[in-house]
Amino acid sequence: MAEITAALVKDLREQTGAGMMDCKAALTETKGDLEAAVDWLRKKGLSKAAKKADRVAAEGLIGISTAPGKGAVVEVNAETDFVARNDHFQGLVKLIADVALSTGGDAEAVRAAKAGNKTVQEAIASAVATIGENMTLRRAASLSVGQGVVGTYMHNSISEGLGKIGVLVALESPGNVEELAALGRLVAMHIAAAAPLAVDSSGLAAEVIEREKGVLADKAKASGKPDNVIAKIVESGLKSYYKEVCLLDQPYVHDDKKSVAQALKDAEAKVGGPIKVTGFVRYKIGEGIEKQESDFAAEVAAAAGKS
Total structural domains within the chain: 3
Is 290 a member of any domain?
Answer: no
Looking at residue 105, its pLDDT comes to 83
Is 296 a member of any domain?
Answer: no
Residues 6+ apart with CB under 8 A from 18: 12, 26, 41, 46, 47, 49, 50, 125, 129
- Same domain flag for 119 and 32: no
Strand spans (E) along 112-254? 114-115, 118-119, 135-144, 148-155, 162-163, 165-172, 251-252
Looking at residue 302, its pLDDT comes to 52
pLDDT tens digits, 196-219: 999 999 999 999 999 899 888 888
Is 301 a member of any domain?
Answer: no
Q: CA torsion sign, 162 to 167 to 172 to 178?
A: negative
- Same domain flag for 96 and 72: yes
Name the amino acid, one letter, at 51.
K
- Same domain flag for 169 and 216: no
- Same domain flag for 148 and 280: yes
Looking at residue 290, its pLDDT comes to 58
Cβ neighbours around 117 below 10 Å, total? 8
Burial class of 150 by CB neighbour count within 10 A (0 to 12, 13 to 18, 19+): buried
Is 299 a member of any domain?
Answer: no
- Same domain flag for 189 and 223: no
Domain boundary among 244, 268, 296: 244
- Same domain flag for 180 and 74: yes
- Same domain flag for 174 and 126: yes
- Same domain flag for 64 and 112: yes
Is 266 a member of any domain?
Answer: yes
Looking at residue 240, its pLDDT comes to 93
- Same domain flag for 108 and 149: yes
Is 141 a member of any domain?
Answer: yes
Phi, psi dihedrals of residue 245, rounded to the nearest 5°: -115, -10
Task: State which residues form the domain around 18.
Answer: 6-52
- Same domain flag for 90 and 230: no
pTM: 0.76
pLDDT < 70 regions, the chain: 1-2, 14, 17, 42-57, 290-307
Is 238 a member of any domain?
Answer: yes
- Same domain flag for 134 and 44: no
- Same domain flag for 24 and 98: no
Looking at residue 301, its pLDDT comes to 52
Is 34 a member of any domain?
Answer: yes
Note the residue count of the chain.
307
